[in-house]
């Protein structure tokens, strides 16, 4: 029947595509350029800043509008960096797209999945994934649907059999007509449902939402009250009321912080893209930095999915499977010729056959006349040769007879053993074996442990990340592979198929490190239990049967050789199907978290003291002591300049504490001291109002510089350069443009007053930070008696 199949013509393909029956381009995993522009431009912070700029423009305070330049630059840099990251991710996602072989106009073509149309004829053979729902037209296929159902038993599909996308061909060869494309595919519908339920969980994103919510609730009422107080109670001019109120509001807005987070994450994505790691969810970098439990699969993760022949035992055909008296020995050269002919003629292409083909030469000495493809259900396959009998290849207990006892030793070592046996007649029965198969070979195979797997597991162990191995294989096999890969807890293994009744997942998830014979539901339950125990969990998966667990994990990771569905929902895809680069992903995440947390502490200082100072001004009917251009100098020289230079630093320490708590905790002592100093000068200064404002501005500059210097500790060449240029740039601007910043002449008396107040502020800061550290120790877990 195969010769009668020709497939669609080019005209038929075009017609079906015009009718909407084409697969279509896959949904892009990145945001569109328009959406990137929109989300960087239309933000609440930008809206508030532009409203302030419009008000300043309306009153003619043009010099105080320079802050809008920082806003425009922030927007431009943010869009540029995200677009650059988008392009790299899009290029990698193209590499990540699978291809399929189809029959068109009588010729086989390999095309992208996006080019498929309904009624295309796919050519399926061993080892290929079924990309679309289809129906078998001819041939015989043994299909593994475990990626969909979790059931390990293979299913035979003949003519008329229905194939589901997401399954794969174990053995055989056949032709199948595509019945569904695009979102109509079974696996696609499953993936879409999971994606709908999966929410982005980002501490940085959630923290910034809190900050935005709080500042937006404060800024409008405080702004209105400050303006009314200045204009009505103090009977100031409309222009001066707008300018002083605008300065207070600008101080409350952490203008560059959102951009800082975006750029940090985008640069991490760019660096990982160059290492063939596709980051589909930008916030997964941050999540993986906090992970303390990593769940790995054995096949395709610890191992590379390939096998190697370690030993070949020639049994000589002298002991039959069902013939106790044995039979005449088959010459070793003839046995090898039969095996070479089998490998040359077989349509199977699984990992075992591939390993045998590397070990034995493929020479078609004998002509095949009948083939029975290997079946994992019956555990054997066979090929009959013209005038030379039949060679069987399969599990030792089915083929090797008494020789199967010799295989036990190697099986207990975690190896796989394949037997080859000979039958002198042609054999066509696919259900039963003949009674007098003669054992020829026992072939010992081992999984190939990935290069650097030991170093990778050792890295996670040193970093306090608990690694769990979750697999559907036999417990002995999984634990032995875990041992070879360097897992320290390889002995802590459990067979989940042996558990009966209600399983205490909360207990076993902590007690064991190796889990065997695990179903998809059990994978999900294990991940959920680990999360209930307070762990941050990353999960690697390669099939549709992993979707439930991937959805539950804090960070989901897929390999490129896995199913389309797992790649669609995973936050990170390892394009080279190798888990050993995972430490690099963790390090990138740590860089982002540490750099953002460190610099956010400086940003929040201004936000906190601006709010506190505004409340003080309202209560005591005082004018806000600064003008917008002065706040802009703080923004540019002491926030933007240090932040965007140190954002690329490599701080890969283990992340401790939450982002918002740490950043606000670092900012609070400085903010309180600054507020106290400014209130003190405002209430008790012997100088005139203009001189007092100069003193307060200088104190603000010095204390903010002290905060930047503290965030740069320990000093490196880059951090020293930042601090030196920050000081020179700030005071250089004040020296060259004193009128722009409304600075009075600084006399020795003023300088001495500033230095005295600054020293008092540093002393107060020391006391506050000491008390803060004691409180942290006092209230930390297990700290009884430490203070």
One of 297, 347, 403, 466 is an active-site residue; which one? 297
Give the residue from 635, 646, 545, 546 showing the smallest Cα distance to 594.
646
| Inter-residue contact 526 to 545 (CB < 8 Å) | no
* Distance in angstroms (rounded) separating the CA atoms of residues 205 and 257: 11
Do 362 and 344 touch, CB atoms closer than 8 A? yes
The H-or-E segment that residue 522 falls in is helix 520-532
Q: Fill in the DSSP letter of residue 744.
A: P
SS3 259: helix
Cis peptide, bond prior to residue 418, ω within 30 of zero? no
201 three-state secondary structure: coil
**Residue among 73, 57, 76 at smallest CA distance from 65:** 57
* Tokens (6 digits) for 347: 């349509």
Both tokens assigned to 600: 């956010």
What number of CA atoms fall less than 13 Å from residue 182's CA on the CB side?
A: 12
CB 372 within 8 A of CB 379: no
| Placement of tokens 């900050």 in the chain | 211
Nearest alpha-carbon partner for 310 in 355, 376, 362, 374: 355
Q: Residue 297 catalytic?
A: yes
Residues paired with residue 99 on neighbouring β-strands, in sequence order: 112
Contact yes or no for 268/589 (Cβ under 8 A): yes
Q: Quick one: tokens of 66?
A: 């320079």
Number of residues that this document lists for the chain: 787
Assign 305 to helix, strand or coil: strand
Helix ranges, 375-474 (H): 396-399, 404-412, 453-462
Q: Which residues contact 628 (CB under 8 A, 6 or more apart)?
A: 52, 56, 61, 64, 65, 66, 67, 243, 246, 247, 250
Burial class (CB in 10 A: 0-12, 13-18, 19+), 325: exposed
Task: Give me the active site residues, please.
Answer: 297
């Amino acid at each position: 029947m195969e010769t009668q199949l020709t497939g669609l013509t080019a005209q038929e393909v075009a017609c079906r595509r015009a009718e909407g029956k084409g697969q279509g381009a896959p949904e892009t995993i990145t945001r569109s350029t328009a959406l990137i522009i929109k989300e960087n431009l239309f933000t609440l912070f930008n809206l508030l800043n532009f409203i302030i700029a419009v008000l300043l423009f309306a009153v003619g305070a043009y010099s105080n509008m320079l802050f809008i330049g920082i806003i425009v630059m922030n927007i431009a840099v943010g869009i540029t960096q995200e677009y650059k990251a988008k392009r790299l991710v899009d290029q990698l996602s193209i590499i990540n797209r699978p291809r399929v072989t189809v029959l068109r106009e009588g010729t086989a073509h390999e095309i992208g999945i996006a080019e498929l149309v309904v009624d295309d004829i796919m050519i399926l053979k061993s080892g290929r994934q079924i990309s679309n729902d289809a129906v078998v037209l001819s041939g015989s296929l043994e299909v593994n649907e475990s990626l969909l159902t979790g059931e390990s038993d293979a299913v035979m599909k003949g003519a008329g059999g229905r194939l589901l996308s997401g399954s794969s061909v174990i053995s055989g060869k056949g032709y199948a007509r595509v019945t569904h494309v695009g979102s109509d595919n079974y696996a696609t519908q499953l993936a879409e449902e999971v994606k709908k339920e999966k929410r982005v969980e980002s501490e940085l994103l959630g923290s910034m939402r809190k900050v935005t919510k709080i500042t937006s609730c404060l800024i409008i009422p405080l702004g209105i009250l400050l303006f009314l107080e200045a204009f009505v109670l103090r009977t100031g001019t409309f222009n001066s009321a707008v300018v002083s109120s605008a300065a207070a509001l600008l101080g409350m807005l952490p203008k560059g912080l959102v951009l800082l987070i975006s750029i940090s994450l985008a640069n991490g994505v760019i660096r990982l893209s160059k290492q063939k790691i596709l980051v589909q969810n930008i916030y997964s970098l941050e999540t993986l930095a906090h992970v303390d439990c990593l769940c790995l699969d054995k096949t395709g993760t610890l191992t590379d999915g390939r096998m190697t022949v370690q030993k070949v035992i020639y049994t000589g055909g002298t002991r039959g499977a069902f013939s106790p008296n044995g039979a005449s020995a088959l010459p070793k050269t003839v046995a090898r010729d039969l095996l070479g002919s089998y490998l040359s003629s077989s349509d199977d292409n699984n990992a075992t056959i591939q390993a045998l083909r590397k070990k034995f030469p493929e020479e078609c000495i004998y002509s095949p006349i009948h083939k029975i493809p290997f079946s994992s259900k019956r555990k054997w396959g066979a090929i009959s040769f013209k005038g030379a009998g039949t060679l069987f290849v399969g599990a030792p207990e089915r083929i090797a007879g008494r020789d199967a006892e010799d295989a036990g030793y190697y099986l207990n070592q975690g190896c796989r053993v394949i037997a080859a046996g000979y039958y002198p007649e042609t054999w066509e029965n696919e259900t039963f074996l003949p009674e007098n198969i003669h054992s020829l070979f026992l072939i010992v195979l081992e999984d190939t442990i990935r290069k650097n797997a030991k170093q990778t597991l050792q890295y996670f162990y040193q970093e306090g990340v608990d690694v769990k191995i979750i697999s559907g294989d036999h417990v002995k096999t999984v634990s032995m592979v875990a041992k070879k890969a360097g897992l320290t807890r390889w002995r802590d293994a459990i067979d989940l198929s042996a558990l009966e009744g209600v399983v205490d997942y909360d207990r076993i998830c902590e007690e064991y490190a190796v889990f065997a014979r695990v179903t998809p539901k059990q994978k999900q339950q294990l991940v959920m239990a680990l999360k209930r125990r307070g762990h941050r969990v990353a999960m690697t998966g390669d099939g549709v049967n992993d979707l439930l667990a991937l959805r539950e994990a804090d960070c989901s990771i897929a390999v490129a050789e896995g199913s389309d569905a797992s790649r669609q929902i995973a936050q990170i895809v390892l394009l080279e199907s190798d888990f050993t680069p995972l430490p690099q992903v963790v390090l990138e995440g740590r860089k982002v978290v540490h750099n953002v947390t460190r610099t956010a502490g400086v940003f929040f200082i201004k936000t906190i003291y601006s709010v506190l100072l505004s409340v003080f001004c309202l209560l005591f009917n005082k004018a806000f002591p600064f003008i917008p251009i002065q706040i802009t100098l703080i923004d540019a020289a002491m926030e933007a300049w240090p932040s965007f230079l140190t954002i690329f630093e490599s701080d890969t320490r283990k992340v401790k504490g939450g982002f918002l708590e740490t950043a606000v905790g670092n900012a609070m002592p400085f903010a309180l001291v600054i507020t106290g100093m400014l209130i003190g000068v405002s209430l008790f200064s012997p100088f005139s109002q203009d001189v007092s404002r100069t003193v307060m501005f200088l104190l603000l500059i010095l204390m903010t510089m002290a905060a930047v210097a503290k965030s740069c500790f320990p000093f490196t060449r880059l951090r020293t350069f930042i601090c030196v240029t920050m000081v020179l740039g700030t005071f250089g601007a004040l020296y060259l443009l004193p009128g722009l910043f409304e600075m009075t002449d600084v006399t020795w008396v003023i300088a001495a007053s500033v230095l005295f107040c600054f020293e008092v502020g540093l002393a107060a800061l020391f006391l506050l930070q000491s008390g803060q550290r004691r409180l942290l120790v006092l209230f930390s877990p297990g700290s009884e008696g430490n203070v």
